[in-house]
Structure 1
Amino acid sequence: MQTQYISFCNKNGLNIKSNSVKTQILNDLQDKYDIRIIDRHHEVFNKEKHFNRLERIPHVCSLKSNGNPYLMFMTKIDFVNTVVMIDKKIQMGYSLPRMIIIRLCITNDALFNNTLIEGEMIHDTNDDWLFLISDLLVYCDVSLKTSNDLFKRVNKMYALLKTDYEALSMDLFSIQIKKYVSLNDIQWLYNDFSKQLPYTTRGMYLKPLYCKFRDILINYDNTLIKKNVREKYATDTHFLTSKTEVIENIKHKSVEKYEICSTSYVDDKNIRDFNIQKTDIPDLYKIYDINNDTYIGFACVDSLKTSKMLSWDFKDSSLLTKLKFSCKKTKNTNFTNIWIPTTRMM
């Protein structure tokens, strides 16, 4: 394999020069996991289209930095454990994306059976570099594209960084996991959290919990969008022109959803006991089968009363704690989550 030293993150990496190796990597990702590097994985925000989706499908929110989108691919090249950073943008004049081999202290050899991590490469205001992880796409040769549990993927990433990775002073960049919050906290994310970061942001991602839907991108800093894109949307009323208005509307839509839930019709005959576990996102609770601990989905928080009950019952509990609840099944067909917790079981 032909390589050449290249400046990367103010230090040096090994640039893969061999097009045959690059092509093989891209083909493996596409054939094995149906992942195409240059495909756009988000939709630009459209009020008429996406407000309706936000009412029907649960989403969480995160910030989009001014960094470059990258993939971290842990694989074997010529039977050698290798970490490849893949640029998701193809530079002008080239037909294949840039791929740079770096050194990371990964202690779990199984990860090199093909693990693919999505993120953003960020140059912060302290002149340091950061790889901000947003999702886990492939884990030890298993595609997670069909996984509808974002939180399981996030927890798996935290476990990976805690047990399988050791940060060293010679590393080209540090690694963190992106913060996700509920849509109810979107204003806090924009007004408060973003201002605490050592790097700039240019928008927000609304990420669906279900993989079959694309992320929604809200660009709120129009000066950072390329000129031809700005001109294209300059007269488009669907494109974001007032970030404050849209953020307020998204928050309002989220509130409307919970108000609609409070009028749900419940069939009292459909009652079951479940183990319920809280997440770090308000009003989002996981449901598990009480007999075999199988993950079922999310609880339906149908009203302010239910929200307060769950918040009180879990106020002193960790994210690993599971509590037993009696739940009723709603007949409202507009709900994705159908089990409503009603009573804590001792």
Structure 2
Amino acid sequence: MSLNSATNSEVDAPISASPAIAGRSPRQIAWSRFKRNKVGMTAAGISIFLLSMSLFAPIVCRVLGINPNDLNLEGLNSSGIPTGDLAGFSMEHPLGVIPGTGRDLLAQLLYGSRISFMIAILTTATALTIGFFVGIVGGYFRGRVDGYLGRFTDFLLAFPAFFMIVALSEPMVDRIEKFGIAEGNGARVLFLILFLSFFGWPGFSRLIRSQVLSLREREFVTAAQAMGATRRRIILKELVPNLWAPVIVVVSLSLPGYLASEAVFSFLGLGVQPPASTWGILLSNATRFVTVMPSFFLITAASLVIVVLAFNLVGDALRDALDPRADK
């Protein structure tokens, strides 16, 4: 073999052996960034675990041998305060029992979280659906349509939502019951979902509108218009797929916000009422025993803080992962 052929083989070998560069989709890039965020991954695992515990609360309680409705009055003293093993952690009652009633605290938290999560999820879905539609319509059509929608959005944003819900709670619940739509706690849950959604969508619609205004001037939209694409096709095929990133982030940040809102209104007596249980009701009950049994208040408050914090950390991690300006 000649010197030239040997040299050529040595030069060609690394080139032929080098692996091909594989392209990555935006989804793969975002997932790769998210996996590198240890805090976000930990928060996502905690969030999934808590949602699963809430969803399968009956099964979890059956496995642990606890029941949210059982009264353990034998473990309470004359003042209704737990004594002995029931006052703290035990195999029969992992988080103790509730003063006054003797109900298992862990079972009450699990079953209460089902109502809290239901209100938060339905409110988030309703508010974001309305805001998504209004934001796309206003941002794409602009002009007079955008002007009317913008002024209506400003009108809603000017309302003090908290005081409106407080003032209209009782009359609206009565009206819902008179119309036969729902009764009791069902009417209160429906009221919270409707009013929190009604006052929650304007802010999200502003975000979507700004994104649509930017996307509307991009080259791929102009090319679609030049090719004769209809408005419906441009909105569904060109705009909507490019709006999922802010939607995902807002969902992860809105869910804990509405979860905390439900707890606040139930704490104030405007949401779900006993004998049903939510985290707001448990917090309200815990304040009456905070001096004689602080563990009841601390466990309930810590549960709400952990859930809200976990979802917020997931939202922050998703925002960083979906940011196109982040490092690849």
For normalisation by structure 1, the TM-score amounts to 0.20
> Which protein has the larger Cα radius of gyration, Structure 1 or Structure 2?
2
For normalisation by structure 2, the TM-score amounts to 0.21
Higher relative contact order (CA 8 A, sep 6+): 2
Task: Report the structure, 1 or 2, having the larger helix content.
Answer: 2
